[in-house]
Amino acid sequence: MSLIDWEQRVIKRVDACKDELVKLCSNLVRIPSYDRETRGEAESAHLVGRHLEQYKIPYELFKSHPSIENLVAALEGVKEGRRLLFNGHIDVVPPGSLDDWTVDPFGGEVKEGRVYGRGSVDMKGGVAAMTVALCVLKNLDVPLKGTVIINVVGDEERQGDLGTTWCINNIWEKIRADASIVSEPTGTGTMGRTLCIGEKGPIWVKVTTKGRKAHGSVPLMGENAITRMLRFLAALLDQELPTVPPPLEREVLIQQIAGVMGMESAALESLLAKNGRLNFLHAVLEALTKTTLNVGTISGGVVANVVPDQCEVELDFRILPGQSPQTIPAFLHELARDLGLANAFEVEIISAFEGTSVPNFEADSLATTLLTTSRELAGPTIFFMATFATDGRLLRKAGISSTVVYGPGNGALAHQADEYISIEEMITATKVNALTAMRYLGIDE
């Protein structure tokens, strides 16, 4: 049987699995998995395991903490070949104030073609879509020339070390692959579906300016740390931040987005110019092509009539792939020197991660296969970057450089009240997952 015939069978079977897919997602949402007291992360992994058992797919659970178990299942093909990994996290963020919700955050309610609840879109729907894709491939005995692996992990939202990092460090042989897909939600609504080929690196720093205390009635007797900080921040916000060329240039992004919206690049550019800085798209384009800075906190001083001797701010820089995190503190020190503040100035790195991306993604076998498959089945799809961090960065750093982020649902709904995932999108993503695996690994016709 040819690849096309196999694909038709797989698509049909996924359609027939709609109820099973919805039930799995909804049941996963019903297990609160945001704190370590309740064992929700372990229970969720067990639920995925029981689903795999129905299809006689062997799986293993690896305990990284009393309340966290990471699941690995592999479907061996008829021949040895490439290995494709799907990664999804099973933990969620807390529901927040229940007053903001119109549904039970852990009810898993199904209505209006959606599954509602905390974690539905981020990312139990994505986990359900990768699990059911594996089950369909197994159920139909698709003769794959390679191996499909799924790794369901905990501890992503806390950016902890007990999920993907733990798997990389402890069971690398089980999850090692030639390429991987992190099934986080990458739908956008207006811009179609995005396929993220990289993500920026967050660099958090604490900057302190020092001064000398004095009585507030004679301010010139002291050195004011707050006014020093104000001078520093004003100069900082006025500077071009150090950056490197982005993996996706602005023109390329504009061209792709204009294509999805059915307009010329020039028309979109003039729309952007008219709406100026308030435009959502402008903000996203800036974030994807440059280093950004958010001044997150500021504190200093004790009382109005004392000249303050210390002021602190916390800054969140997001750097592009290819830029060294060290460029940020070096830049800050140089600026302080230029302002004559070098002796009253400290920089402490709170945390620093490099940005990462798929090298030469336009020729990458997985990225291009997934892009084509998504365009066929899910509609307009564009290459994009994530401004936020996902476990994809860990897999790229561990050696699976061909790691992309792509999954069902609108990412903007993540961490919100009344979070939901579209059932239609889950079905489509299940098909995209299965067909991408078949096309990437090849089948024995």
Residue 224 Cβ vs Zn ion, minimum distance, rounded to whole Å = 43
Exactly one of 109, 122, 419, 425 binds Zn ion (CB under 5 A); which one? 122
Which residue of the chain is nearest Zn ion when measured via CB? 122
Residue 394 Cβ vs Zn ion, minimum distance, rounded to whole Å = 13
Q: For the chain, give the secondary structure using H, E and C.
A: CCHHHHHHHHHHHHHHCHHHHHHHHHHHHCCCCCCCCCCHHHHHHHHHHHHHHHCCCCEEEEEEECCEEEEEEEECCCCCCEEEEEEEECCCCCCCCHHHCCCCCCCCCEECCEEECCCHHHHHHHHHHHHHHHHHHHHCCCCECEEEEEEEECCCCCCCCCCHHHHHHHCHHHHCCCEEEECCCCECCCCCEEEEEEECEEEEEEEEEECECCECCCHHHCECHHHHHHHHHHHHHHCCCCCCCCCCCHHHHHHHHHHHHCCCHHHHHHHHHHHHHHCHHHHHHHHHHCCEEEEEEEEECCCCCECCCEEEEEEEEEECECCCCCHHHHHHHHHHHHCCCHHHEEEEEEEECCEEECCCHHHCHHHHHHHHHHHHHHCCEEEEEECCCCCHHHHHHHCCCCEEECCCCEHHHCCCCCCEEEHHHHHHHHHHHHHHHHHHHCECC
Kindly write out the interface string for residues 349-368 of this chain, putting x where it contacts Zn ion by CB under 5 A and - elsewhere: --------------------
Exactly one of 123, 288, 307, 336 binds Zn ion (CB under 5 A); which one? 123
Kindly write out the interface string for residues 171-200 of this chain, putting x where it contacts Zn ion by CB under 5 A and - elsewhere: -------------x----------------
Nearer Cβ to Zn ion (123/404): 123
Q: Is residue 156 among the annotated active site residues?
A: yes
Nearer Cβ to Zn ion (159/327): 159
Q: Which of the following is catalytic: 69, 122, 155, 156?
A: 156
Q: Which of the following is catalytic: 69, 91, 184, 199?
A: 91
Residue 184 Cβ vs Zn ion, minimum distance, rounded to whole Å = 5
Q: Is residue 76 among the annotated active site residues?
A: no
Size of the site for Zn ion (CB under 5 A): 3
Residue 419 interacts with Zn ion (CB under 5 A)? no
Nearer Cβ to Zn ion (89/290): 89
Nearer Cβ to Zn ion (123/197): 123
> Which residues form the catalytic set?
91, 156
Residue ranges that bind Zn ion, judged by CB under 5 A: 122-123, 184
